[in-house]
Amino acid sequence: MASIKVDKRVLQAGRETAIETTRLSENTPFQVTEAYKTLRTNLLFALAAGKSKAVVISSAMPSEGKSATCANLAIAMSQTGTRVLLIDADLRRPTQYQIFQTDNSKGLTTILAGFNEVRDVIKKKIGENLDLLTSGPAPPNPSELLGSRRMKDLLFMLEDHYDYFFIDTPPINVVTDALVFAGSTAGLLLIARQNQTTYDNLTRAVSSIAFSGVNILGLVINGVNEKVGGYGNYKYNKYAYGKK
């Protein structure tokens, strides 16, 4: 079981501005694009030895940047030419349909409930090599749906059609939704925000993940104060990636 060592000096309690939900594009600042490429490379190495290519993205608490990171990491991975599916499994406060400005009248919940077939719900080519499965209408039993056999079967079936999956899930310290099915994936990437995520909340989240037997792929700290890097005027440490 992988573990993350959390240094109290890294995370300080405090407030931060609203999460930036801008998608990666040709207009994205260079340092941000490079940060996601670095994260993508590290993740490719982490996934190389495993069978599953499904990555669960979560955070300890709300407003720490998990949804934006999940969307942009999916975009970055699709730019390698691989087939990528972004799944919004945050059935309580979905965000991906807003980030990609698309309809959410049907999605993951209507598939799991048996109302729709997968082929009728997945939004094709929202980006090059990138498809999207939105959350769908909010259900009364999100944890039960995500922990159901239907969810496991869905992920297994989709492996024949996609190379990588990125799954956005609710914060771990708020609800257990992410952990009820993450054991069937390659593991969980935990998102934190500098000057907002506290040491206690992060430690609690890591303990919950470990107790559930879910593999921890790494820790991403966003909102890091920029410093000038070693190549001209470019800045490289907008985001920090913590290895196992």
pLDDT, tens only, 182-209: 999 999 999 999 999 999 999 999 999 9
Which residue's entry shows tokens 């037997």?
213
User: Of 38, 4, 22, nearest to 214 (Cα)?
Assistant: 4
For 17-46, the DSSP string reads: PPPP-PPP-TTS-HHHHHHHHHHHHHHHHH
Which residues, at least 6 apart from 184, have a Cβ–Cβ distance to it below 8 Å?
52, 54, 152, 155
Decide if 89 is inside a domain. Answer: yes
Using the predicted structure, report yes or no on whether residue 233 has a pLDDT greater than 50: no
Decide if 63 is inside a domain. Answer: yes
Using the predicted structure, report yes or no on whether residue 229 has a pLDDT greater than 70: no
DSSP 3-state percent helix, strand, coil across the chain (nearest 5): 30, 20, 50
Taking residues 93-105, report their average pLDDT: 96
Q: Could you tell me the pLDDT band of residue 11, with boundaries at 50, 70 and 90?
A: very low
Range of the domain at 115: 50-221
Q: Quick one: angle between helices 30-47 and 66-78, nearest 10?
A: 80
Query: Residue 9: what pLDDT?
Result: 36
User: Of 224, 210, 220, 219, nearest to 244 (Cα)?
Assistant: 219
Q: Could you tell me the pLDDT band of residue 113, with boundaries at 50, 70 and 90?
A: very high
Decide if 18 is inside a domain. Answer: no
Decide if 240 is inside a domain. Answer: no
Decide if 217 is inside a domain. Answer: yes
The percent of residues above 70 in pLDDT, for the chain, comes to 83
Q: How many CB atoms lie within 10 A of CB 62?
A: 13
Residues 148-195 have pLDDT tens digits of 999 999 999 999 999 999 999 999 999 999 999 999 999 999 999 999
CA distance 129 to 103: 20
Order of all β-strands in the sheet with 164-168: 123-127, 130-133, 84-88, 164-168, 54-59, 187-193, 216-222, 240-242
Decide if 77 is inside a domain. Answer: yes
Decide if 34 is inside a domain. Answer: no
Q: Could you tell me the pLDDT band of residue 42, with boundaries at 50, 70 and 90?
A: very high
Using the predicted structure, report yes or no on whether residue 65 has a pLDDT greater than 60: yes
Which CATH number characterizes residue 91's domain? 3.40.50.300
Decide if 31 is inside a domain. Answer: no
Domain count, the chain: 1
Distances (CA, A) of 58 to 26, 80, 128: 26, 23, 24
Mean pLDDT of the residues in the chain: 85
Q: Could you tell me the pLDDT band of residue 68, with boundaries at 50, 70 and 90?
A: very high
